[in-house]
Amino acid sequence: MATKFLYLFSEGNANMRNLLGGKGANLAEMTNIGMPVPQGFTITTEACTQYYEDGEKINDEIQAEIMEYIDKLEKITGKKFGDLENPLLVSVRSGARASMPGMMDTILNLGLNEQVVDVIAKQSNNPRWAWDCYRRFIQMYSDVVMEVGKKYFEQLIDEMKEKKGVTQDVELNADDLKTLASQFKAEYKAKIGADFPSDPKEQLMGAIKAVFRSWNNPRAIVYRRMNDIPGSWGTAVNVQSMAFGNMGDDCGTGVAFTRNPATGEKKLMGEFLTNAQGEDVVAGVRTPMPIQEMAEKFPEAFAQFQDVCQKLEDHYRDMQDMEFTVEHGKLYMLQTRNGKRTAAAALKIACDLVDEGMIDEKKAVAMIDPRNLDTLLHPQFDPAALKKATPIATALPASPGAACGKIVFTADDAKEWAARGEKVCLVRLETSPEDIEGMVASQGILTVRGGMTSHAAVVARGMGTCCVSGCGAIKMDEENKKFELDGKVYQEGDWISLDGSTGNIYGEAIPTIDASISGEFGRIMAWADKYRQMGVRTNADNPRDTAQAVKFGAEGIGLCRTEHMFFEEDRIPAIREMICSDTVEQREKALAKLEPMQQGDFEAMYEALEGRPMTVRFLDPPLHEFVPTEEEDIALMAKDMGKSVEDIKAIIAGLHEFNPMMGHRGCRLSVTFPEIARMQTRAVIKAALAVQARHPEWTMVPEIMIPLVGELKEFAYVKSIVTSVADELIKAAGSDMKYKVGNMIEIPRAAMCADDIAPHSDFFSFGSNDLTQLVFGFSRDDAGKFLDAYYEKKIYESDPFARLDQHGVGRLIANACRWGRSTNPDVKLGICGEHGGDPSSVMFCHDIGLDYVSCSPFRVPIARLAAAQAAIKNPRATESKCRRAM
Ligand code: ADP
Ligand code: MG
Ligand code: MG
């Protein structure tokens, strides 16, 4: 049977999201449960992938099916494309599986041409409306289909308003709009070299192709990369008959949420504009009125709308974000979806829904986007400093959080300033989807125009970035990169602070403080812990980070990098002394100075862990990292070491490597200088014995991890050093303390030979940063230079250092786990690279059976939640070793 590429709304349902996209599936669902939805059909995401497979062409089969469905829609609506009695007008709307607000394109009022405009102008006795529709159509079609600059059209509108001495679009009359329409068409012809298409079917085919193409526009690609959405999904296209919100004052259009998307409060929140269409609300061109005012203007439609809201929430069992239009007092639903929300709102809504009996704990855990939690873990304003500060203005609290940064006026500047380490706040008249990269780079966003549902607000909430919008009090001078507020001028580079929870704007820098897990956050995390099957540890090298991580729920340390301790000012002379040593005795003498310091570090870490386990990794980086490069510092070092400058230079030259990442580092250091491994073993074991003596209630089992192992004999050699030193110390202390020796797997050879190593190793920890580098054969520090080109050419979709390359590196890890377990079923398996805190990578780790992930302290709650979601989605037969041991 031939593939079916089109579905009427009445043929689909909410479960067909993969095929129909989120918007299409929900339009179908709303149709089926009897809501007032203008009818239409959906062209599937498979048609989109087919379009790309066919070399960006709509093939004959799909074209024929589209024509068939136009016929069907004409029958359903009783209207006909291009008809001069009863013309059919439609919108053409994109809609992917995952919602990507504002990232792709929509065209309204398609089907209009000179004759049809005249007809509807006369029929409706409302020429202003008819011409408004037409000029909007030309504008959107030109922009989307032909990529004719939308700036220029806006300029024409501005000129027209100026000429007429008005400030609002709605004040332009039919003749003005008619003039604009012909100006637009002239512009189209000048740019494209052909007349604006008048045949509705030709218009429709152009629009469908444009939506397919918009799947690959640059902002959609950036958005997908940020949100882990695969490029292979494609977008569906919805063709829907129009409902008109711009036919007069008894019409309007709005956007609403069944609960507050910023706080989660159970109260309808939304915005409404009378005599308006489509993007007018979200574009932030006019500032809309709160939805509650709609009750006075449109009591019937509002009552019906409230009823719809209730039904939709009950149906989807989640907060809904809806778009609707009122045409002559009658309500039409145009969209519903599970609303995007801030992390705080997500937690409150999930808990409320559990308490309301709408969902269970598992569903609550599953409905929270782990990436969002980040915003709750990052700093808020210091209340003491905040008390002293006076806001210079207050606007809409569009996306919560605290932001403090220097003012910049363009998205490009934001990117550039942030790249050189500056904290910035992006101040814009209004944001457009093209600004997305600049928004990502900013601490906060402040806009002059736009409401709570404006583009800036929606995108900022999705990213967890603070946003204050609609600050009309700002007199903006974008050209000269400054603005005036309350009589004061603010220039580029001036400090500003934004409170996205209150909408307050401060003309100064306000310090921020750390957050904590409590209340609803704590409830959700407790549920997550109940359902997850992997352990979650942290990467930490000092007691402060350790304590922070424990507060965030870390069950131990999965990676303690000992070199970070050596870099401290009082340690580095001893390390340098060791490097400069000519004999083993000299080296041992230098190491003896380091030993008590290192032991002290470990004791402090163990105390901060309060009995939780810690994996200590032996010295890893190449030694040249510990010697100076500047002439001046070299002279100082020579003096400290009692050697000549020439000697020091010779030593430094001797440390030079062509490729330090692949040089004399990791366990290779222990092979050449076994005394380093001896010293580190003594420090770990003595620290554990001392802490055990102070805390008999804890069971200390120190874990020593050998980095950069590639071969069993190499590991066995270093391990023998560790065990001989450790056994002797433990025996001398009259203790029966157990300890573990394991290795990192970060060299592909170790992964390939995991079955050799496993019988001798207590645990493997996949060092996915180095492993990724070595599997790909490019270094993390150099990849930045060419990865962008790879994204552009669609060779890679995401940074393999941020998100685990499951197909390549991930497969190697999965195999190494299998091979390792085949010879040692008890080998404990974990991951300690950056990926340990990336939700999609954590889910992968669950699926391949790792016992634990280890990540930076601020990612611990994210990993806990992601691990729980993975376990809820795909439960394992048994709890991992790590969890059983807890
Ligand atoms: P986005 O995905 O960017 O929200 P939509 O496809 O939802 O884009 O379209 C944007 C807006 O256009 C809608 O919110 C709605 O106001 C308007 N719109 C779309 N289709 C119709 C329609 N058939 N009738 C009236 N308005 C429509
Ligand atoms: Mg929409
Ligand atoms: Mg490494």
Distance between CA atoms of 189 and 192, rounded to whole angstroms? Answer: 5
Q: In this structure, what are the phi and psi dihedrals at residue 535, rounded to the nearest 5 degrees?
A: -80, 155
Ligand 1 pocket test, pick from 37, 91, 103, 454 with the greatest ligand atom count within 8 Å of Cβ, gives 91
832 is catalytic: yes
Range list of β-strands (E), 387-513: 393-394, 396-399, 402-408, 424-428, 444-447, 466-469, 475-477, 482-485, 488-491, 495-499, 504-506, 512-513
C-alpha 823 – ligand 3 centre gap (Å): 24
Closest ligand to C-alpha of residue 617 is 3
Among 593, 609, 514, CA closest to 560: 609
Give the number of the ligand closest to the Cα of residue 766. 3
- Measure 203 CA to ligand 1 centroid, in angstroms: 18
Which ligand 1 atom minimizes the distance to the CA of 99? 2
pLDDT at residue number 122: 92
Mutate to test the pocket of ligand 1, among 79, 94, 108, 240 (most ligand atoms within 8 A of CB): 108
Ligand 1, atom 22, residue with closest C-alpha: 242
Burial class from Cβ neighbours inside 10 Å (0-12, 13-18, 19+) for residue 653 reads: exposed
**By alpha-carbon position, which residue is closest to atom 10 of ligand 1?**
278
Structure tokens at 350: 């999930």
Q: Specify the ligand 1 atom closest to the Cα of 282.
A: 14
Do 765 and 742 form a contact (C-beta atoms < 8 A)? Answer: yes
CA of residue 621 to ligand 3 center, whole Å: 8
Q: What are 622's two structure tokens?
A: 């190449």
Nearest CA to ligand 1 atom 15: 278
CA proximity to 836, closest of 870, 859, 865, 806: 859
CB 384 within 8 A of CB 405: no
Closest listed ligand to the CA of 337: 2
Residue whose CA is at the smallest distance from ligand 1 atom 16:
278
Q: Where are the alpha helices (DSSP H) in 493-644?
A: 519-531, 543-551, 563-566, 572-580, 584-609, 631-641
In angstroms, what CA-CA distances link 123 with 117, 119, 172, 176?
Answer: 10, 6, 21, 20
Closest C-alpha among 813, 832, 672 to residue 751: 813
* Residue of the CA atom closest to atom 9 of ligand 1: 106
Packing angle between helix 127-145 and helix 114-124, nearest 10 degrees? 150
The residue whose CA has the least distance to atom 27 of ligand 1 is 278
Q: Enter the tokens of residue 167.
A: 């400030």
pLDDT over 90 percentage in the chain: 72
**Nearest CA owner, ligand 1 atom 3:** 102
From the CA of 278, the nearest ligand is: 1
Tell me which of 309, 404, 455, 753 is the catalytic residue. Answer: 455
Which phi and psi (to 5°) does residue 318 adopt? Answer: -160, 160
Best of 90, 93, 139, 459 to mutate for ligand 1, by most ligand atoms within 8 A of CB? 93
Instruction: Return the pLDDT at 283.
Output: 67
Buried b (16+ CB within 10 A) or exposed e, 258-290: bbbbbbbeeebbbbbbbbbbbbbbbebbbbbbe
CATH class, domain 379-513, is: alpha beta
Q: How many CA atoms lie within 13 A of 349 on its CB side?
A: 29
Q: What is the pLDDT of residue 282?
A: 66
Catalytic one among 832, 845, 855, 882? Answer: 832
Distance 807 CA to ligand 3 centre (A): 21
How many angstroms is it from 324 CA to the middle of ligand 2?
9
Ligand 1, atom 23, residue with closest C-alpha: 242
Determine the distance separating the centroid of ligand 3 and the alpha carbon of 713, expressed in angstroms. Answer: 19
Q: Which residues contact 107 (CB under 8 A, 6 or more apart)?
A: 91, 92, 93, 137, 140, 141, 144, 145, 207, 210
Listed in order, the ranges of the chain carrying CATH 3.20.20.60 are 532-622+663-883
> Which residue reads 């069944």 in tokens?
258
Weakly modelled stretches of the chain, pLDDT under 50: 886
Closest-lying ligand 1 atom to the alpha carbon of residue 244: 25
d(CA 165, ligand 1 centre) in Å = 30
- The best mutation among 140, 334, 455 to test binding of ligand 1, ranked by most ligand atoms within 8 Å of the C-beta, falls on 334
Residues within 6 Å of ligand 1 by CB? 38, 91, 93, 101-102, 106, 108, 240, 242-243, 253, 278-279, 323, 325, 334-335
May I ask the CATH architecture of the domain 532-622+663-883? Alpha-Beta Barrel (3.20)
Query: Which ligand places an atom closest to the C-alpha of 334?
Result: 1
Query: To the nearest whole number, what is the mean pLDDT of the chain?
Result: 92
Q: Using one digit for the tens of pLDDT, what is the confidence trace for 548-587? A: 899 999 999 999 999 878 877 778 889 999 999 989 999 9
Residue 702 Cα to ligand 2 middle (Å): 55
Say how many Å lie between the CA of residue 769 and the centre of ligand 3. 7
User: In the prediction, which pLDDT does 66 show?
Assistant: 97
